[in-house]
Structure formats: structure tokens, C-alpha cells
Chains A and B, each alone.
Chain A
Amino acid sequence: MKKNFKGKVWKFGDCIDSGNIKGVMAGIDPEFHTKVQPGDVIVAGINFGMGSSSEDAPRSLRDAGIAAILAESISNIYLRTLINLGLPAIECPGVSSIVEEGHELEVDLESGRVRNLANGASRTFAPFSDHAIAILEKGGLIPYLKSSLANNREGT
């Protein structure tokens, strides 16, 4: 996982529940999976991913190659699940007001900054904890556990 990356923005509104995210945002736009490209980023409003904890929804975004999700706020389970799947999920107040669909965003996970390359506007977010970065770097919780548990075993 890159800690600094750029991606083209797809913009969505407020309160999109996981049922409508399932199948790469199929509940909102059934054709979205044909438009989105690996490395693109999603920018959404408040309460992204609310509702069911079913992993079909976050996995569909990961499998589509989405590089990051940025939203005004993200449901707790959804946010944790995305990180556990190796996909940065970022709560960034004000992000939806500085970008339009199609703009290119630069995201820096360590400094906690997002910048719109089309107009220079930027916003900050709480930088990721070392633990979250470690999980993301391994590509998710399962590979992280496999390597950390294996390391523990070697140590004992």
C-alpha cells in the first residue's frame, strides 16, 4: 500500500448504506462498476457505509481497485472493515466541498492531508495510527495476523 497516492474522484452523497454500496455502488448506479478504474477514489458525504456489517459491500469496492474512500463521516464497522481489508477509509470533514467528480486528489496518509490537484484546495484528517498503518501495509488484517503471529511464534 502506498502512503501517498493520487486518484480520480467519484462523488456520492450522504447516508449511503452498505446495501446500496454492494456490487460496487450498484444500488446508486448499476453501471458504476463499468466506469470506475483501479486507483480511483470515492468521495462521499456523511454516514458512508451505514447499516449492515455484511462485507460484500466493502469487498466489492476493494475488488474494483478503489484506492481510498474519503467521506465526511463513515460508519464505524464499515471504516474498520475497510482498513481490515487493506483499503484506506478516511473521515475527512469538508472533503466533499473541495472536490467535484473527475478532479484528481492527492492523499497523504501519514501527514493526514488531502489536496485537490485541480484547484489546490486542501483538507486535513486525523493521521492513521501506527496500528492501522501496519495493517494497511500488510494489505489487511488477515495477512497482518499471519505475519505477526508467525513472528511471535518464531520469538517463543
Chain B
Amino acid sequence: MGMTITEKICARAAGRDRVGPGDMIDGKIDKLYIKDLRFSKAEDPKGLYGLFKEILKEMGIHKAWDPDKVIINFDEQPARSTRRAEGQESAKQFSQEHGATIYEGYQGGIGHNVMVEKGHVRPGEFIVGADSHSCTYGALGCFATGIGFTETVGVLATGKIWLKVPPAIYIELAGKRPSWIWGKDIVLRIMAEFGANGAVNKTIEYGGSAVDDISIESRLSMCNMAVESLALNAVFPPDERAIEYVKQVSTATFTPVESDPDAEYESRLRFDLTDMEPFVAAPGVPSNGQPVHEFVGTKINQAFIGTCSNSRIEDLRVAAKILKGKTVHPGVRMIVTPASYGAYFQAREEGLLEIFEKSKALLTASECGICTRPSLATGEVCISSGNRNFPGRMGHRDAQIFLGSPATVAASALAGEIVDPREFLPI
């Protein structure tokens, strides 16, 4: 019997020939991502570095496990609290004393995008990140999942995590993707099919004839949402497109792995993308998705293109295409927060930032921004390209958050209400 991509990567990380669902492994980490917030004294009064130092002292050693494999990014710039600023100082100190790579200023942005753009994510790798959306990296054919603060300290000390190998769900993407459909539409449709409890602690593996045509940006967006399906990880096969992308951003060698033809899946689902309608998720949970026509006419106060889910260059291009020469509805605050400074400067070079400014969208620095910081008053309605629409996620508990593709967000910003973006896309 064959193995899936995830099983093969887990087996290699555990130093075994083979593993199957339910096996407990101690996996050796290829890469650890940490966001600056973890270094602040937010979750633990000692902070990440303080607690780590304490462990080192008790062990009687001075150095972290392989610091070349540790990447830190500042997700909030500038820091908006003293505690965060001190966390960033602590991260720098850690980096100086232990040699970890650190991204800040114009090198940074939203950590998950920085990790990908700077070539730290490669096919076949076993990656963990101190943030729930670390599952994003699976788009490039690796195993990637999020871990908590305490476990991050554990990885710094040992370079390993304990893990139960997950069973896998195979999702076949078939048919011809229409030009108005992006990763966010597809993943919202799949999540709606799963329901709220859909893929709890499982692997989602994408495949099928429609994969070729799905951009890296859209794959990243789809894997980003894996944690919202409660999956442990999601993975795309490392096809030519993925390998080409990684070679562009990294000179390091890597060993892609593919699922065996006789790999075993717990279940299989098939989605035909032909003639698919754009999808939108209603407030509450991201699995509340329905075709956009169900929500057309819903008045909005805020439109947000940002987050580690959807604010990459592909997203900025489509938003600019829709906004070009038009003005955001007077009743709407539209906020555009590029995924990274890489995407920010690329967008500037292409003239996209000027289009946003002229359309009266508020352009912000690249950071997590209002996905993690309150911006919605009681009763306000937001349509967001982000990944979370839980009550209170972006402000007051009684505010409502709809999720959609950047095209749906941009078109709705012009109309002042949720609309079908197809009517706003220039042919």
C-alpha cells in the first residue's frame, strides 16, 4: 500500500520507512516560523525568550536547536503597544544571540507571505509555525501546521514535535475554472460542503486536472483556510508550477514528494469548477458559504482586502482592475493592506497603488492590520478577503463579517452592498 504526500513527509521527519494514520511520531522540524507577537509578554509573563532562557539554563547549555531553521517576522509595524515593542526588541535580541533570520521593515509584511516569498518554504519539508495560519505553506507541497506558544519553546529546545499522523481527505478539482473564480471562492465552496466540523485534525490533499490552472497565490489562499476547516494541514502536489515558483525564490535544494497512486484516503470528494459561481461566507464561521447571489444587496460599511489569506499580487491586480477609474461608494470604508512589502512594491511598480488611492481606498502598511485589530462598531457590516468571520473578530461582537474573494470585496466596495463581481469585471 502506498503513502500520501503528508505520510511520506512525516515518515522522513520521523526517520522511518513508512507511517500510517494514527501513528505517533516525533518529527524533526525543517523550519520554524515565529511571529514577533510570541516574543511579547502577552501569553506568558516571561515571554518566549525568557521562558526559553530558563530551559537552556536548566539544561546547562547556551544555544537553541538549529537557529538556521528559525525565521522570525514582525507582523505589526510599527508596534502599537509598549508590550509589542518590547517583544520586537526581545526577538532581535534572540536573533542576535542565537542567529535566527529576522524580517522587519521593508523586508517584512505578513509573516506567512514573507516565508513563501523569501524562499523558506520548499516542497517535501516538515514545517511548523507559531501561528495558526502556518498551514498556508502546504500550497508548495510541504507539510505545514500551526503550533502554540508553549510548543514553540519546545521546538526551540528540541527541534521536534510529537504528532499523530492524520488521515487524509482527497479533493479532486475537476473541470475548467472560470476566469472569475479564485482560490478563495473554491475553498469557501469546499468548506461549505464539509460543514463546520468538516476536516477536524485531518489532512486535506488537493489534486485533479484543474490544479494545473490554479495559481500559486490561489493555492496559498486555499491552504491558508485549512485551519478554518479544523484540518491539521492541507497540501497541493508539488507540480511544475510550484517547483518553478520555489526555484525563483530560493537557490536551496529540495526533494519533492508525491502521493503514490495506491495511497489510501479516508474519503474522496470531487468538485467540478466549470461554470462555478463566486462564493461568499456569511458571518459566524467560514464554513457558512453560499453562492454570492444569496447575499446580493446586503449593505456594507467596510470592505477589506488584506490578511495572510488574500492580499497577494494576484489579489491586488484583480482589485485594481475592478476599481480602476471608479470611486468607492461614499458609505464604505475600503482598506487595502498588501500581503508583504514584496507585493506592495510590485503593486506600486504596476501602478496599482495609484489606482487604489484614486478610487479612495485607504492603503495601509503591510501587516496583519485590521484582521487582528478592532475596526468595526456595533452593527457594522464588513466584507473581507480574510479568513475569519467569528463574532468579535474585527471589533464589536454584533458587527458582521462576510468573507469573499478580492474581486467580490472590490466590486462590493463600489456598490456599497454585496454584489456579484462578474458584473464589475472588465471583459
A31-39, A47-55, A104-112: which lies at the interface:
A47-55
B197 interface hit (Cβ, 8 Å)? yes
- Output the least CB separation between B202 and chain A (Å): 9
Q: Across the interface, do A81 and B150 meet the contact criterion of CB distance under 8 Å? A: yes
Q: Across the interface, do B55 and A142 meet the contact criterion of CB distance under 8 Å? A: yes
From B42, B60, B200, B388, contact of A51 by CB (8 A):
B388
A contacts with B, residue count (CB < 8 A): 38
Task: Find chain B residues with CB under 8 A from A77 CB.
Answer: 132, 145-148, 227
B contacts with A, residue count (CB < 8 A): 43
Q: Across the interface, do B390 and A81 meet the contact criterion of CB distance under 8 Å? A: no
A27 interface hit (Cβ, 8 Å)? yes
Task: Find chain A residues with CB under 8 A from B58 CB.
Answer: 146, 149-150
Q: Across the interface, do B157 and A20 meet the contact criterion of CB distance under 8 Å? A: no
Task: Find chain B residues with CB under 8 A from A47 CB.
Answer: 196-197, 200, 230, 285
Q: Across the interface, do A73 and B230 meet the contact criterion of CB distance under 8 Å? A: yes
B354-362, B391-399, B402-410: which lies at the interface:
B391-399
Bitwise interface map of A from 52 to 70 toward B, beta carbon under 8 Å scored 1, else 0: 1111101100000000000
Q: Across the interface, do A141 and B154 meet the contact criterion of CB distance under 8 Å? A: yes
* Most chain A CB within a 10 A radius of its CB, from B59, B196, B200: B200
- Output the least CB separation between A106 and chain B (Å): 26
B158 interface hit (Cβ, 8 Å)? yes
A2-10, A11-19, A94-102: which lies at the interface:
A11-19
Q: Across the interface, do B132 and A52 meet the contact criterion of CB distance under 8 Å? A: yes
Task: Find chain B residues with CB under 8 A from A150 CB.
Answer: 58-59
Q: Across the interface, do B55 and A145 meet the contact criterion of CB distance under 8 Å? A: yes
Task: Find chain B residues with CB under 8 A from A85 CB.
Answer: 150
* Most chain A CB within a 10 A radius of its CB, from B44, B145, B149, B388: B149
The 5 closest A-B pairs by CB, nearest first: A81-B148, A55-B43, A53-B132, A55-B149, A84-B150
Seen from chain A, the residues whose Cβ lies within 8 Å of a Cβ on chain B are 14-15, 17, 19-20, 27, 46-47, 50-56, 58-59, 72-73, 75-77, 79-81, 84-85, 129, 131-132, 140-142, 145-146, 149-150, 153
Query: Known pairs A73-B200, A129-B24. 13 more at Cβ < 8 A?
Result: A46-B200, A47-B197, A50-B228, A51-B393, A54-B42, A54-B43, A76-B232, A77-B132, A80-B147, A142-B55, A146-B59, A149-B59, A149-B157
Selected A-B contacts with CB under 8 Å, 18 pairs: A14-B196, A15-B196, A17-B388, A27-B391, A46-B200, A47-B230, A51-B388, A54-B149, A56-B43, A72-B197, A73-B230, A80-B151, A81-B150, A132-B162, A141-B153, A142-B55, A145-B158, A153-B59
